[in-house]
Amino acid sequence: MPEDMNIAQCKEIVERITKEIIPLFDLAIKNDSVLYKNPNLKQCWNEKNCKKESCPVFKNESNLRCWQIAGTYCGGKIQGLFAEKYDNCKMCEVYKKACPTIVEELGENFNNLMYLVHKQKHITADHVKKIDHLNKELFSALENLDLKNREIQELVITDKLTGLYNRNYLFATLEDEISRSMRYDYQFSLLMMDLDDFKKINDEYGHLEGDKILSFLGEMLKTKLRKTDRSFRYGGEEFVIVLPETEMTIAFMVAERIRAAFEAKTFSMHHPATSKDTLLSPTLSIGVISYQKGLSIQDLLGKADEAMYKAKSLGKNKVVRHDELSTL
């Protein structure tokens, strides 16, 4: 107890702390906007007759204290942040007048604590908001990147003219199908088809006219097959179709449906030499094979090729099963 304070004064201080200060901590648990209302608070610009209108606290009637605000003027100099200048501010007459007793000093210490809590809360909220914004931008960028990657991947594995998969992707697909067949013991079949007399068509009408036929065949295959089936341009006028979970009889029926649908299509071909248009109905020769254990990719394609060329040797525009070659 200070020498100049008697027992009655000490008792009064304790009672004030009990009534004015301690309840604030209880209230702050539920409401972090609680403020100690200091009746002795002075405005520094008024007390010091300051004319610095650019000072953040000049004629500012908010509850913030001058020692809490960064960038205030004092002695003609701009002061720093709260943590940097608070020790000096405590020595200022404005602060001393605001805290004539320990009750007001405790009250202002409480206000400073709540100010820091609010400040940190706003900083954290801003950080969370920025992080959320960055996360959204990152997610959007990753989505766009994934989309671009898929587009690039699609371009890499797709034949530009027909829109079907290309030869390279065929080998990757067959590796997967053979592995799956070995593991789960299920059948898949393969069709190999070739446009009959296509070289003659190109020689007579030109490659641009021939490309129309290839393009149509690519579009037609997409409409005649299941979503699980995959069509490939094997090279030139040769095409391959992989039919997952399909045995030979069904594969033969699919091939016949494709052959008949293509034969029914009539193309108007423009002859560059005579400038005349001619109606043409090109045909397909198709070989069919079902995968058997032990066959390599090259074996499988080779046997399908044998069946296809047998169809050509039998007069073209036919479907031949590889398992019936010995009977033909």
Find the DSSP H helices in the chain.
7-16, 22-30, 44-47, 82-89, 93-98, 102-157, 167-184, 198-205, 207-224, 248-263, 297-313
Separation CA 288–CA 191 (nearest Å): 5
Examine the residue annotation and report whether 105 is marked as an active-site residue of this protein.
no
Q: DSSP assignment of 185-207, as one string?
A: ---EEEEEEEETTHHHHHHHH-H
151, 237, 238, 247: the catalytic one is 237
HSE-up of residue 138 (Cα within 13 Å, Cβ side): 6
Q: With the C-alpha atoms ordered 118, 122, 125, 127, is the resulting torsion angle positive or negative?
A: negative
Instruction: Return the bridge partners of 279, or none.
Output: 268
Q: With the C-alpha atoms ordered 206, 209, 210, 215, is the resulting torsion angle positive or negative?
A: positive
Instruction: Return the bridge partners of 241, or none.
Output: 191, 231
38, 67 in Cβ contact below 8 A?
no
Catalytic residues: 237
